[in-house]
Structure 1
Amino acid sequence: MASMPPAHCLICEDERHYVDKNGQAWTTREELLGNYKNQFKFEENGLYSIWTEPRFAIGQRAFLLQTSFGNILWDCISYLDQDTIDFINKLGGLCAIAISHPHFFTTMVDWSDAFGHVPIYLHKNLDTWVARPDPCLQFWEGSTKDLFDGKLKLINTGGHFDGSQVLYWPEGASNKGVLLSGDDPQICMDSKQVTFMHSFLNYIPLNEKKIRRILERLRLVNYDRLYDAFTIYGTDGVIREGAQQIVQRSGERYCKAISNDLD
């Protein structure tokens, strides 16, 4: 890691995020060690969620997904300690990492290094947001990418970022299909709805063209369950049944609202 902090954070300074009124602050992994602890939750067969307590950064969670071809980390949290490494190694380690969008890049290269320099799959449209280039970063192009001989699929939805992606797990939810979305689509306070935003923090909506593209890309697969990145907004971050219908219906409602046609 660099001995001096960077001059600025391009992700924080983008309109999708923000800089605290006291300015940007920097820390190191060494300074964090011992002050936090990662928690693990068994979500369903083959899937664990991982988050940090006390809450750190924006409070997102990551997921460890197990397949017969190996394990993948979906999205990333900043805090990584030996207890976390040991826990994941007991479950078979990692063969790969994939990140939905730049707000969750965090310490992804450290995670890769800790598990044998495993590849990190990012969509090519995210390459300009990478602040720490590394050979482990594997950029892909197009609308979909199969992983682990088709056991998993990355889908470039765009929307929140042009390179935003989701992870599709067809064997999840008892073979009904699981979508791991990061935060786009994001589950609302009413878990019968999801939303899509250019900026969640600054309340900037997406336009209809981008919403239509997301809906089109998510019709490429069949899924019944949806996990997003957060459990801090009054939900448990899961739609357990009927997720695909909820996503499509919510997208249509969104388009109606921004076109002034909502009653």
Structure 2
Amino acid sequence: MAAYDPHKTDNLLVCTACGTQFPTADRASLPSCRICDDPRQFTPPAGQSFTTMAEVRRGHKNVFHPSTGGDERLTSIASEPKLAIGQRAVLIRTTAGNILWDCLTLIDEDTITHIKSLGGLRAIVISHPHYYSSHTEWAAAFDCPVYLRAEDREWTVQQSPKQVFWEGNDVQPISIEGNESTALAIRLGGHFPGSQVFLFGGHLLVADTLVTTPAGLGSWATDALGTPRIRPAGMNSFAFMWSIPNMIPLSGEEVFAMWSILKHHDFTSTHGAFVGTDIVAADVKQRVLESMMIQTKFAGWARQEAWESVY
């Protein structure tokens, strides 16, 4: 296999709104971004525009934020200043090798060198098409497979033999050179038909499949005088959205279908799409369920009594 050359893709176009890398340097052949033209996303008021990977590399850097959610095995990576949507990737260190959850547009020599110093990557798993970014280039740089859900294949604008489009069952153990790690990709659907979450060591990495809310991150441990408090009833911790930026919620049926899959898995923390959206709490799974019940109630879901069957 030829050695990876990061400068080979310097001129490839990158959408400035969503960060998707396209397999062309010809601006005339790419009048718009199909990801941003989808109703889940948007084109900014200034209109559609593209940059290049070389320009991204000159203007941004990837910053490593250690100990995501208090576990030294999880490290957040985010591009600074904010690039496109601004999501983070999470480097997960398992006994079988390192896994990258979600992906960033920026990949440069400093990032590659640092990750290789930590053991490299043995697999990449991406939650949904908004974060496909430059995943084919990451897979080439680290010579590893990238797991995508088959329902979302139409959103890939680049193709690579490294792509693994898994389908069928809703749970995919991540296999590293034939040895299954303790990590699971779980298809919940909702935001996209193939939207995934990722379970490792009691941590549920949720990206935008479950949207972490301000109330979910808020603390009611004490009042202004330092007196202990109990979290008020009726507060959600998550929202379940077909489109996050355009504020289009999922239907009650879709939310209930997500729980029918997620209820089989236990976790004590969740980790959202952005740095600082971690919830570590013994009752966080119950808070997911309560958030689903709150959203479907206020959406007027006609089958609200269906939640009684989950207890």
Give yes or no for TM over 0.5.
yes
Q: Where do 5+ consecutive residues of structure 1 fail to align?
A: 172-176
Find the counterpart in structure 2 of residue 95 from structure 1: 122
Q: Aligned pair 1:189/2:214, yes or no?
A: yes
Find the counterpart in structure 1 of residue 246 from structure 2: 202
Of residues 156, 165, 169, the one that matches 1:130 is 156
Deviation string for 1:220-247 (max 9, x for gaps)?
Answer: 210010001124xxxx201111221111
Distance 2:146 2:270 in 1: 22
Q: Structure 1 residues 50-59 or 31-40, which shifts more?
A: 31-40
Q: Secondary structure at the match of 2:215?
A: coil
> Retained in 2: the 8 A contact 1:183–1:230?
no
What is the CA-CA distance between 1:214 and the residue it aligns to?
Answer: 1.1
Find the counterpart in structure 1 of residue 259 from structure 2: 215
Find the counterpart in structure 1 of residue 80 from structure 2: 53
Q: Secondary structure at the match of 2:40?
A: coil
List aligned pairs for 1:78-157, cutoff 5 A: 78-116=105-143, 118-142=144-168, 143-148=170-175, 149-157=180-188
What is the CA-CA distance between 1:150 and the residue it aligns to?
Answer: 4.6
Q: Aligned pair 1:3/2:43, yes or no?
A: no
Deviation string for 1:124-182 (max 9, x for gaps)?
Answer: 1010111111111110112111113151111110000001011111x2xxxxx110011
Distance 1:245 1:215 in 2: 11
Find the counterpart in structure 1 of residue 297 from structure 2: 256
Distance 1:34 1:9 in 2: 22
What is the CA-CA distance between 1:8 and the residue it aligns to?
Answer: 2.2
Q: Where do 5+ consecutive residues of structure 2 fail to align?
A: 1-11, 13-23, 217-235, 305-311
Q: Residue 279 of structure 2 aligns to which amino acid in structure 1?
A: I
TM-score with structure 1 setting the length: 0.92
Distance 1:7 1:137 in 2: 26
Find the counterpart in structure 2 of residue 23 from structure 1: 47
What is the CA-CA distance between 1:39 and the residue it aligns to?
Answer: 0.8
Of residues 34, 38, 57, the one that matches 1:14 is 38
Distance 1:141 1:98 in 2: 14
Q: Secondary structure at the match of 1:38?
A: strand
Find the counterpart in structure 2 of residue 166 from structure 1: 197
What is the CA-CA distance between 1:260 and the residue it aligns to?
Answer: 6.8
> Retained in 1: the 8 A contact 2:95–2:181?
no
What is the CA-CA distance between 1:24 and the residue it aligns to?
Answer: 1.1
Q: Aligned pair 1:226/2:255, yes or no?
A: no
List aligned pairs for 1:69-84, cutoff 5 A: 69-84=96-111
Q: Residue 10 of structure 1 aligns to which amino acid in structure 2?
A: R
Of residues 87, 90, 95, the one that matches 1:63 is 90
4+ residue runs over 6 A deviation: none
Distance 2:90 2:301 in 1: 38
What is the CA-CA distance between 1:34 and the residue it aligns to?
Answer: 2.6
TM-score with structure 2 setting the length: 0.78
Distance 2:237 2:300 in 1: 19
Find the counterpart in structure 2 of residue 174 from structure 1: none
Q: Secondary structure at the match of 2:77?
A: strand
Deviation string for 1:183-214 (max 9, x for gaps)?
Answer: 12011011261111011111111101110111
Q: Secondary structure at the match of 1:216?
A: helix
Aligned-pair identity (%)? 35
